[in-house]
């Protein structure tokens, strides 16, 4: 599974990519159809995504809907290096309609009002925390993960912990160069080893002071050629 890295471009000027208005209209139509197609494929798999490009939201709203309703809070994973506004918006229009069809036309508006109220009371989403984990993992990997390269002096790992309401690690994902590593990969095993002492002592995520299962993301820089 690839992790999206791309530029999001608002195509307000036809000079931006050196294209005529007619060419831009064609591109936008094609990208819109691409966005619709990908949305329909995800819906066929039972996946509904939050329409973050067309509906104003806070992290409290998105995480509430993800945790309590299964509405995924994800960036649009474009197939291209450049993301087109029309592609994102057409994708999200399909997702927004799917949400309204399942939970009602006022669902997003009502949930937003609840989330905004919680945020004003400082009761909104609080991510899971462990003050020592990031420093400890980085220290362990830099001391024990020996990787050599003639080109680079360092590389970055993405580490995702899924933390239960009881403050326990229930899932671990590790990514390198935009790819998630398999559980038998030496780098994954090294991260897993580094986390052994930190599996049961997290402060879980909360919404309205209620513990929730949620993910915690880290990017860790690993020195090479040590």
> What pLDDT, in 10s, does the model give residues 135-173?
888 788 777 776 655 556 677 888 899 999 999 999 999
CA angle, residues 84, 55, 211, in degrees to nearest 5: 120
Q: What is the pLDDT of residue 59?
A: 95
CA distance 120 to 169: 30
Residue spans of the chain under pLDDT 50:
1-16, 79-82
Residues 215 and 107: their CA atoms lie apart, in Å, by 24
Per-residue confidence (pLDDT) for residue 151, from 0 to 100? 55
Given this model, what pLDDT does residue 46 score?
95
pTM for this model (two decimals): 0.77
Tens digits of residue pLDDT in 182-191: 999 988 888 8
Q: What is the pLDDT of residue 218?
A: 84
């Amino acid at each position: 599974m690839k992790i999206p890295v791309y530029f999001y471009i608002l195509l307000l000027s036809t000079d931006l990519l050196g294209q005529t208005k007619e060419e831009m209209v064609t591109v936008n139509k094609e990208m819109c159809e691409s966005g619709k197609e990908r949305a329909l494929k995800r819906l066929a798999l039972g996946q509904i995504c939050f329409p973050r490009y067309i509906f104003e939201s806070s992290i409290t709203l998105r995480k509430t809907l993800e945790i309590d309703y299964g509405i995924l809070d994800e960036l649009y994973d474009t197939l291209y290096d450049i993301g087109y506004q029309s592609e994102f918006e057409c994708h999200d229009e399909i997702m927004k309609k799917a949400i309204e069809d399942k939970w009602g036309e006022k669902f997003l508006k009502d949930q937003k009002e609840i989330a905004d109220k919680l945020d004003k009371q400082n009761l909104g989403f609080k991510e899971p925390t462990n003050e020592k984990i990031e420093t400890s993992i980085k220290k362990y990997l830099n001391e024990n993960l020996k990787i050599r390269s003639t080109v680079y002096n360092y590389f970055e790992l993405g580490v995702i912990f899924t933390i239960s309401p009881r403050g326990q690690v229930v899932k671990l994902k590790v990514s390198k160069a935009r790819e998630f590593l398999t559980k038998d990969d030496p780098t994954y095993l090294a991260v897993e080893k580094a986390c052994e002492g930190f599996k049961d002592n997290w402060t879980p995520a909360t919404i309205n002071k209620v513990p929730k299962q949620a993910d915690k993301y880290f990017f860790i820089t690993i020195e090479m050629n040590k």
